[in-house]
Amino acid sequence: MSSNVVKSWKGVFGFPVTPLKKDLSVDLDALRKNVDWMTQNPFCAFVCAGGTGELYSLTAEEVGDITAASVEAAQGRMGVVAGTGFNVPIGVDMAKRAEKAGAHALLILPPYYQNPPEEGLYHFYESIAGATSLPVLIYSREWAVFSPRQVAELAKRIPNLHGWKDGQGDARKYQRIMSEVGDRLAWFGGIGDDCVPGYFAVGVQAYTSSISNIAPQLSLMLAEAGMKRDFAKLTELMNKYVHPLYAIRDRLRGYEVSVMKEAMEILGMPAGPVRPPLVNTRPQDIEDVRSLMKVYEDVL
């Protein structure tokens, strides 16, 4: 795939979990099964070993294995974006392994250090992006917060930076960033399915969906309504499916992964436990997830 492919990605990014066995080792067979199922839907691409894929719990070797298994299972149906981050040595190692495994692009998550000086932050992204020939997307989430000027500077310094994935949910600032940088980058929504109305209102071309793990058709319906600016339809979908799920996810830190894995298991898809410091879904919450999955039956 050419570097320009990032600009062509519109609609929905799948965001698969990383299935684990009971001993917390990566279950590559389960991953292949899930990716094969997910990529039979018309998503524009999917992100393996990303935030929902528990990147920060993985080794560089595991990221390489996960990327290779994902590329194999996708069978060329869509682009595969691999996660990387941590620090420069580990991030570069992950990036090189992902490229070797056949990834089509990289998603760089925030560095380990929460309050770096500006120049150090630029160097972090430049170093990882420059380690491969792959197009790069930067994921602005948690402590990786950028001003319009800083995003413009990164776009200037990193030739293979082609996309920006917002994880802040600040529509006001995101609009300013998009206005400052223009069509130099492709713009994506990345904080969650619950932010779809706001993201498409400000002009993103696609969003990353954790709901894609359980109800791909719902993810596609959300994106279609968003791109059409059909806010009546969006409100209907959000109120019936998305807000109830995210209300459960908000009960405990890390539940954005744990609850999705629990929902998958309830629906008969392999997902397994989560790795520390995340915790598995509590028994009192599992029943609420199970009840909600009955509501989801008409979009499965």
Task: Please write the tens of the pLDDT for every residue from 50-104.
Answer: 999 999 999 999 999 999 999 999 999 999 999 999 999 999 999 999 999 999 9
Return the H-helix or E-strand segment holding 175. helix 171-181
Establish if 282 belongs to a structural domain.
Answer: no
Please give the pLDDT value at position 26. Answer: 98
Establish if 264 belongs to a structural domain.
Answer: no
Establish if 188 belongs to a structural domain.
Answer: yes
The question of whether 139 is a catalytic residue gets the answer yes
Return the H-helix or E-strand segment holding 7. helix 5-8
Establish if 250 belongs to a structural domain.
Answer: no
Please give the pLDDT value at position 4. Answer: 82
What is the number of domains present in the chain? Answer: 1
Q: How far apart are CA 107 and CA 51, in angstroms?
A: 10
Establish if 295 belongs to a structural domain.
Answer: no
Establish if 184 belongs to a structural domain.
Answer: yes
Catalytic-labelled residue, pool 7, 22, 113, 165: 165
| Residue ranges making up the domain that contains 111 | 5-228
Q: How far apart are CA 143 and CA 87, in angstroms?
A: 14
- Which DSSP string corresponds to 248-290? HHTTSTTHHHHHHHHHHHHTT-------TTS-PPPHHHHHHHH
Establish if 284 belongs to a structural domain.
Answer: no
Longest dimension (CA), the chain: 50
Establish if 138 belongs to a structural domain.
Answer: yes
Convert the pLDDT of each residue in 215-234 to its tens digit: 999 999 999 999 999 999 99
Please give the pLDDT value at position 1. Answer: 55
Contacts of residue 180, Cβ cutoff 8 Å, sequence gap at least 6: 148, 149, 151, 152
CATH of the domain at 45: 3.20.20.70
The question of whether 261 is a catalytic residue gets the answer no
Report whether 53 contacts 15 (CB < 8 A).
Answer: yes
Q: Residue 179 is encoded by which pair of tokens?
A: 């206005």
Catalytic-labelled residue, pool 7, 10, 33, 139: 139
Convert the pLDDT of each residue in 173-210 to its tens digit: 999 999 999 999 999 999 999 999 999 999 999 999 99
Angle value at C-alpha 18, between 121 and 254, nearest 5 degrees: 65
Q: Residue 252 class from Cβ within 10 Å (0-12 exposed, 13-18 middle, 19+ buried)?
A: middle
